[in-house]
Amino acid sequence: MNGDPLAEPLSAPIAGDVIEPTVPAPPSSMSDRERVSYELLVLANLEKLIAAQKKKVRAAAEKAFNRPGQREVAELSSEEEDLLGNVRRDPQRSEWKVTDPATLLDYCREVWPEHVVTTTPLPVDSVAPAFVKSLLDLAKDGVPALDAHGEEIHDLVSGEILTRPPGIEFVQDKTIHLVVTPAKGGPDALLRALGDNAALLGLAPRELEA
């Protein structure tokens, strides 16, 4: 043990084990309305608890998965039906984007006016979406953008040669992309592990009346 809870495998209850409840189970003499009210309120409170815990676990996971490509599988036991799912970290999605639509529009009015469209009934100018896509594709492929005459484009103030029109930039994504994929049988595995406590938590399957 090194003091880091994420550095050690997490212990999980064995499927079929019953976790002893720390609060008494709801009385069996409940009316239907009392029981569904109990279940709704238990689930509502569980949602609050889970939301708070999810933020903490997410923050810890972003530290534990410290590089793209890492992947972990979680399971309650070695049995296939006790698989909970997997978590992986995907690469960051850095890409060319329109970061300043107004600046791009002003530049297009001067250099590519044929690609500026006006919407109705209110007269609002914008750059045609297909042309924006073509500018982004050029940037992605490393091909300089050219004016309507096939010439290099320039900064309208300094005259500096540009490879991209103002308003389009390469944005470095700093988001940590964690993909959490539950197994198809994960919910059932958890219900088996909870045993009788599933009903206590309002999670027991129930037949809906027609």
pLDDT in tens, 74-128: 999 888 889 999 999 999 888 999 999 999 999 999 999 999 999 888 889 999 9
pLDDT for position 207: 53
| 3 pLDDT more than 90 | no
Identify whether the C-beta of residue 126 lies closer than 8 Å to the C-beta of residue 119: yes
- The token pair at 148 is 């309507």
Please list, in sequence order, all residues whose beta carbon lies within 8 angstroms of the beta carbon of residue 184, skipping any fewer than 6 positions away. none
Distance of CA 34 to the CA centre of its chain: 37
Identify whether the C-beta of residue 92 lies closer than 8 Å to the C-beta of residue 69: no
Higher pLDDT, 2 or 25: 25
The model's pLDDT over 19-47, given as tens digits with 9 standing for 90+, comes to 555 555 566 778 889 888 988 898 899 99
Higher pLDDT, 195 or 138: 138
| 14 pLDDT more than 50 | no
Please list, in sequence order, all residues whose beta carbon lies within 8 angstroms of the beta carbon of residue 204, skipping any fewer than 6 positions away. 191, 198
Question: In 10 A of CB 127, how many CB atoms?
Answer: 21
- Angle (CA) 36 38 39, round 5°: 65
H helices of the chain, in order, are 32-64, 101-111, 129-141, 186-194, 197-200
- Can you tell me the mean pLDDT for 45-57? 93
